[in-house]
C-alpha cells in the first residue's frame, strides 16, 4: 500500500499561554439572563429542580436544536490510501471478498447489549480462540451512510475507513479496530473492549455528576493525545464528547472512539455532523467551520461538562451569544483554559499543542504530580 499523504493545516509553534483575566462581555445579553441565573443556582446548591445537580441528560436536549439521530447527508466519495502499518499485528482486517462474507460467529461469541444509536448497536463479546473481550458493532446498510475508498480495501463505511487510518500508526488513546465483516444487510465491526471500562458520561455520573480538576486533567491530557494523533493521520473526529470517550476505571486510561461522524481533514466544512450542543458558534452564524477551531471548541465544552456537571450553553442562540458563566469554585488556570477554548472567535482559540502546554496541566495535585505524571495511574477516588 502507498504512503498516506495527509492534508493537514500548518500548526503554530506551541507556546504556553500566559494567564490573564479574561473579560468576555461587559453587557450581558437578555437571552443569556435565564441561563446565568440557572447556573448560579446550580453551583450555589439552590437549584429549583434537584435533577439540575446531575448535569446534562440525553433527554434534556433543547427543542430548537437539530435531531442528532437523523441520517447524515452524503458527501462526495474521497479516495485515500492508508499507510502500511509497521509491526502492527493486532489489526487483522479482511481484504478479499471471500473473507468479507465469512460469518463472524465462527470467530466471535456475542454477549449482552452495550448500547445503541442512530447508526447501529453495540454488543459485548469475546474472541473464541483466546477469550479476548471485544465489542461487536452492527452497522445497518438500510440507513444512509458515507463511504471512503481505501486502496486494498475498496469502498468502506466512513467509520470503518477512518478507524483503519487511525490504526495504521499505534496510539494507546484510540480504540482499536480488530476485524470487520460484510453481510448482505449490515457490516459487523469488531473493536477492542478494555475491562473494566465505562464511557466518560457514565463514569462522571457515578462520580457524583462531575470530576475534580485533578481527575479532569488526567482525562483531557490523554484526549489531546488522541486528537493530535487523529490530526497527524488526516482525520477529523467531529463528535468529541464524554459519550464517545472510554475510560478504563482501574488505570484511568482514556480511549477515543466512534468515528461515524468523522471526515478527512480539509480546508473548510459547510456541512455539520456530530452533536449540536458541541458545535462552534461559527457554524450557527456562518454555516461553516474549520477543523482545528471546531475540535478545540468541543474540547472546551467537554472540559466544562466534566468539571461543572452541565453544558456551558443550552441552545444555539446561547452558543452564538457566547456569554460564558464560570463558577467561582474553579481554579484560575481551569477557568482560563475553558475561556480560551470557548473563545467566540475561531482565531482566538488555541491549537491542540497549545492546550497541552497550558499551565492548568502542570499544576501539581496534593501529591505533587501533574497530568503527565498521573495519566495512567490508579486514583484513590476510583
HEC profile for the chain? CCCCCCCCCCCCCCCCCCCCCCCCCCCCCHHHHHHHHHHHHHHHCCCCCHHHHHCCCHHHCCCCCCCCCCCCCCCCCEEECCCCCCCCCCCCCCCCHHHHCCCHHHCEEEEEEEEEECCEEEEEEEECCCCEEEEEEEEECCCCCCEEEECCCEEEEHHHHHHHHHCCCCCCCECCEEEEEECCCEEEEEEECCCCEEEHHHHHHHCCCCCCHHHHHHHHHHHHHHHHHHHHCCEECCCCCHHHEEEECCCCEEEECCCCCCEECCCCECCCCCCHHHCCHHHHHHCCECHHHHHHHHHHHHHHHHHHCCCCCCCHHHHHHCCCCCCCCCCHHHHHHHHHHCCCCHHHCCCHHHHHCCHHHHCCCCCCCCCCCCCCCCCCCC
| Neighbouring C-alpha atoms within 13 Å toward the C-beta of 187 | 20
Residue whose grid cell is 462474507: 101
Residue 231 marked as a ligand binder:
no
* Set 67, 130, 199, 239: catalytic member: 239
Task: Give the number of residues written for the chain.
Answer: 382
> Is there a contact between 47 and 41 (Cβ–Cβ < 8 Å)?
yes
Active site residue 267: no
The binding site consists of 137
Active-site residue list: 239
The binding site for ATP consists of 137
Amino acid at each position: 500500500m502507498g504512503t498516506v499523504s495527509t492534508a493537514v493545516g500548518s500548526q503554530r509553534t506551541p507556546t504556553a499561554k500566559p494567564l490573564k483575566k479574561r473579560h468576555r462581555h461587559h453587557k450581558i445579553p437578555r437571552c443569556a439572563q435565564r441561563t446565568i441565573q440557572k447556573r448560579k443556582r446550580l453551583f450555589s446548591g439552590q437549584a429549583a429542580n434537584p435533577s439540575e445537580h446531575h448535569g446534562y441528560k440525553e433527554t434534556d436536549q433543547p427543542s430548537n436544536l437539530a435531531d442528532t439521530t437523523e441520517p447524515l447527508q452524503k458527501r462526495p466519495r474521497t479516495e485515500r490510501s492508508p499507510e502500511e502499518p509497521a509491526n502492527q499485528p493486532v489489526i487483522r482486517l479482511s481484504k478479499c471478498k471471500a473473507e468479507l462474507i465469512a460469518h463472524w460467529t465462527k470467530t466471535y461469541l456475542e454477549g449482552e447489549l452495550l448500547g445503541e444509536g442512530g447508526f447501529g448497536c453495540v454488543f459485548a463479546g469475546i474472541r473464541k480462540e483466546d477469550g479476548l473481550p471485544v465489542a461487536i458493532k452492527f452497522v445497518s446498510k438500510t440507513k444512509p451512510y458515507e463511504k471512503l475508498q481505501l486502496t486494498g480495501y475498496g469502498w468502506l463505511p466512513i467509520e470503518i475507513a477512518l478507524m483503519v487510518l487511525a490504526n495504521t500508526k499505534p496510539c494507546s488513546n484510540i480504540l482499536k479496530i480488530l476485524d470487520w465483516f460484510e453481510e448482505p444487510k449490515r457490516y459487523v465491526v469488531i473493536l477492542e473492549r478494555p475491562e473494566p471500562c465505562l464511557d466518560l458520561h457514565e463514569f462522571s455520573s457515578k462520580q457524583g455528576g462531575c470530576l475534580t480538576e485533578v481527575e479532569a486533567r488526567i482525562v483531557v491530557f490523554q484526549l489531546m493525545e488522541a486528537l493530535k494523533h487523529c490530526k497527524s493521520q488526516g482525520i477529523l473526529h467531529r463528535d468529541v464528547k464524554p459519550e464517545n470517550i472510554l475510560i478504563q476505571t482501574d488505570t484511568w486510561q482514556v480511549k477515543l472512539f466512534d468515528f461515524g461522524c468523522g471526515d478527512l481533514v480539509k480546508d473548510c466544512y459547510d456541512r455539520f455532523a456530530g452533536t449540536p450542543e458541541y458545535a462552534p458558534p461559527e457554524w450557527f452564524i456562518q454555516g461553516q467551520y474549520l477543523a482545528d477551531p471546531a475540535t478545540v471548541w468541543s474540547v472546551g465544552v467537554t472540559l466544562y461538562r466534566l468539571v461543572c456537571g452541565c453544558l456551558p450553553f443550552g441552545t444555539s442562540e446561547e452558543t452564538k451569544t457566547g456569554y460564558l458563566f464560570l463558577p467561582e469554585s474553579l481554579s484560575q488556570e481551569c477557568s482560563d483554559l475553558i475561556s480560551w477554548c470557548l473563545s467566540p472567535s475561531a482565531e482566538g482559540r488555541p491549537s491542540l499543542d497549545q492546550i497541552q502546554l497550558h499551565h492548568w496541566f502542570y499544576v501539581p495535585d496534593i501529591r505533587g504530580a501533574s497530568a503527565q505524571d498521573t495519566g495512567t495511574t490508579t486514583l484513590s477516588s476510583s
